[in-house]
Amino acid sequence: MAHSSHMLKMHPAALVLSSFLLLILAGSLLLRLGISTVDGFIPWIDALFTVTSAVCVTGLVVVDTGTCFTTFGQCVILALIQIGGLGVMTISVALFTWLGRSVSVRHRMVMQDLFTHTPRQDIYQLVRSVIIFTLSTETVGAILLTTHWVGEMPLEKAVYYGVFHSISAFCNAGFALFPNGLVHYSGAWLLNLTICLLIVIGGIGFPVLYDLQAWFPGRAPKKMRLSVQSKTVLLTTLLLIIGGAVMFSLLESNSPVLADRSLSQHILIPLFQSITCRTAGFNTVDIGSLREVTIVMMIFLMFVGASPGSCGGGVKTTTLALLTLFTVSRIQHRKRVNMFKKSIPEATVTRSMSLVLLAIGIIGLVLFMLLLSDSFIVIDGGRTRIHTLQYLFETVSAFATVGLSMGITPFLTTWDKYWIVLIMIIGRVGVLTFSYIVVGTEATRGKEYSEENMMIG
């Protein structure tokens, strides 16, 4: 009872982190069971890494999911992806509601932080809608993917693969049951478009989806207007997808990645990579074979990530939009940031700046610690030193819960894996949420002295 009472008194931010940590611990113990792996054994650090990657819907793997784990182990990973994607608090609130149990005020506060930009009275209805929409979308995705695979594998296996990859795509996890990801299917229209749609829907955020379904004609007696957040998310997402695809196509046009490919692949490969590197982690080309300039472009897309209230990570599309408009407004000597004929609160703009600075600082720290290990990749008996860009790509991929890798994940040292585990957790919980837990949420005015100007820039 004392433990339960202590949990109820926790701040919502600490409650979210605790729920993820408990889920990671439980999942790690399950993967350590002999029935979870083909060999009957997996090192503790590899189990912890895999479970953290699943719970944080990242997709980075140190062992191949399809060949290392049994069906039981894969189902454990899939369950962790689903719970991690929706959030432990979401699942618990839904269960409490369906069982007729009361939900604590702190649980409600967590739901408000996760799914709404303004306070709502219908928080239970929102959570219910999130669960139903998620399961419905994943079911449709599973049917479409099964349709694709039914021609090349037995029906039972095709259904299993369809369900696994549909949930993994919607939750932006990026776990695949094929050793080389989805490289073999780079020209398959049905599979590519299904995975892409699932990633986008799972990545634009539940608040936006909730707004859209209320805005859709016939859903309400009076047509609702989309919120500024929804408009910003949709516009920014569209621009990033198109911009990323065009840039990828231009940068790799003369490289082996796109050269001598069919027209379908020339369209699908850039589109798929543009969408997936925004937090999904699937790949239809070998990421390690891309040009360095393409890798840098993808790092930017990964850093931005998905949208608030979604399954994805990153600093979020709204942050990019806010900082872009803030820069423009300052250049034009305007005091306020305006979007869609609305003024954004200054506190929100300041918070977005803090988020980006903290994110850069955390990525820089983890990158520094990874560089200290000075690891090597062993290929065909030869040793190749892991270079800085590969480490940076891995770090940003972990922070933004993307899951793409240039092929160095299995070669990370034990301490490297612990650092990646840490940054995956920070990325999934949220930088600002994590900082609240570390330094507290109470704002103090502090001392004020007389002002003195200084030069900047």
Q: What is the full per-residue pLDDT of the chain (457 aa) written as tens digits?
A: 444 444 445 666 677 788 889 999 999 999 999 999 999 999 999 999 999 999 999 999 999 999 999 999 999 999 999 988 887 656 655 655 555 555 555 555 555 555 555 555 556 677 777 888 889 999 999 999 999 999 889 999 999 999 999 999 999 998 999 988 899 999 999 999 999 999 999 888 888 887 887 766 655 555 567 888 889 999 999 999 999 999 999 999 888 889 888 889 999 999 999 999 988 889 999 998 999 999 999 999 999 998 887 878 889 999 999 999 999 998 888 888 889 888 988 888 888 999 999 999 999 999 999 998 877 776 666 677 888 999 999 999 999 999 999 988 988 999 999 999 999 999 888 887 777 666 555 555 567 788 787 877 6
The answer to whether position 353 is within a domain reads yes
Provide the CB-side half-sphere exposure for 446 (13 A, CA): 4
Q: Check if the beta carbon of residue 424 is closer than 8 Å to that of residue 326.
A: no
Read off the pTM: 0.89
Q: Where in 208-318 does DSSP place strands (E)? A: none
The answer to whether position 444 is within a domain reads no
Element (DSSP H or E) covering residue 224: none
What is the C-alpha to C-alpha distance for residues 180 and 44, in angstroms, rounded to an integer? Answer: 24
The answer to whether position 448 is within a domain reads no
The answer to whether position 5 is within a domain reads no
The answer to whether position 96 is within a domain reads yes
pLDDT value at residue 105: 53
CA distances from 140 to 145, 194, 197, 199, 261 (A): 9, 9, 11, 13, 30
What is the C-alpha to C-alpha distance for residues 85 and 209, in angstroms, rounded to an integer? Answer: 15
Q: Check if the beta carbon of residue 232 is closer than 8 Å to that of residue 339.
A: yes
The answer to whether position 398 is within a domain reads yes
The answer to whether position 336 is within a domain reads yes
Element (DSSP H or E) covering residue 11: none
pLDDT value at residue 164: 96
pLDDT value at residue 283: 93
The one-character DSSP state at 178 is S
Q: Where in 323-403 does DSSP place strands (E)? A: 338-339, 342-343, 376-379, 382-385
Residue 285 is which amino acid?
V
pLDDT value at residue 2: 47
pLDDT value at residue 227: 85
Overall number of domains in the chain: 1
The answer to whether position 328 is within a domain reads yes
Containing structural domain, residue 233: 10-438
pLDDT value at residue 384: 79
Contacts of 195 (CB under 8 A, 6+ apart): 145, 165, 169, 182, 272, 276, 280, 282
Provide the CB-side half-sphere exposure for 218 (13 A, CA): 0
pLDDT value at residue 278: 82
